[in-house]
Amino acid sequence: MNNVRSEAEIRHILSTIPILMYHKVDHHREVGINALPPERFLGHLSWLSENGYQSTTFLDILHRKPLPEKPVIISFDDGYLSVFENAFPAMQTIGFTGVIFVISGFAGKLNEWDVSLNRQRFRHLSPNHIRELAAAGWEIGAHSVTHRALPLLSETQVRREMQESREKIAEWAKQPVISFAYPFGIKTARERQLAKECGFQFGCKGVRGSQSIDVLNLPRIPVYQFETAKHLVQKMKHPLPAAERIKLSLLGLPAYLVPIYQFLFKQELSLDRL
């Protein structure tokens, strides 16, 4: 028997699996809505567990690992240290694993690529943290080298952002890197094709949308700072209710200002300067 599932099988499986998207799990507040307090995150995990959900990953799905009756993928963008410090132990307690998308050029560094209106900075995972998560069954995905909006870059730059992050993260994690999260969830057909050419088998964007499943353009369900376990009731419905989708789309709009900020104030964000 083939030890990996076919793309058709994977599309069918992913058509009904909710993919949650978190960022920071941190007590420190920010001018933004992506830093979820650890106790609130624990409430989310409790709700998921009590309602019969169990975690899975893209690696598990690809390699024919038996699926739980009610699977959920819990993903984290940007690879923040707070995920290791707060989310990882909480998830380990109930037997959950996650998928964390790492910005390879900022491993162990502060998130200087991002806007910070109150000068609050957050540290990213180090290679050692990445190794420990991978050893505990987490999947480590790539999120580029510099976290820039890929459609604004040349094809050569995009290819480097994908290839170099994939190679470096695989070296740290000691596992295949098969999934990529497009920075800011922004992509065009070009980025999808380049992700495929660079060896990625799964690509993730932002808000869950179309009913048709494209494994390199997978919609996810963002979870924000103020959302409690009660909000998961709507998020876990299939299909995602229109009102929830519109709400999440509107809440995600400020993220599109970050590429403008980077263009104006972060010219040092280049592959050859990190």
Give a yes or no: residue 83 inside a domain. yes
1 is a domain residue? no
45: nearest Cα among 9, 8, 20:
20
Residue 271 lies in a domain: no
> What three-state secondary structure class fits 269?
coil
Whether the pTM exceeds 0.85: the reply is yes
Average pLDDT (186-210) is 91
Please give the tally of structural domains in the chain.
1
216 occurs within a structural domain: yes
- Residue 54 falls within a domain, yes or no? yes
The predicted-structure confidence for 150-186, as pLDDT tens digits, reads as follows 999 999 999 999 999 999 999 999 999 999 999 999 9
Task: Please write the tens of the pLDDT for every residue from 220-261.
Answer: 999 999 999 999 999 999 999 999 999 999 999 989 889 998
Is the predicted pLDDT of residue 30 greater than 90, yes or no? no
Which residue range is the domain that position 40 belongs to? 7-265
**Is 170 inside a domain boundary?**
yes
Q: Is 169 within the bounds of a domain?
A: yes
What's the pLDDT tens digit per position in 56-114? 999 999 999 999 999 999 999 999 999 999 999 999 999 999 999 999 999 999 999 98
CATH of the domain at 61: 3.20.20.370
HSE-CB at 40 with a 13 A cutoff on CA atoms is: 18
What distance in Å separates the CA atoms of residue 237 and residue 88, rounded to the nearest whole number? 25
Above 70 in pLDDT, residue 1? Answer: no
In this predicted structure, what is the pLDDT of residue 274?
A: 63
Beta-carbon contacts of residue 103 (< 8 Å; ≥ 6 apart) = 78, 79, 113, 124, 143, 144, 145, 146, 147, 165
> Is 158 part of a structural domain of the chain?
yes
Q: What is the band of 2 on the pLDDT scale with cuts at 50, 70, 90? A: confident
> Residue 211 has what pLDDT?
55
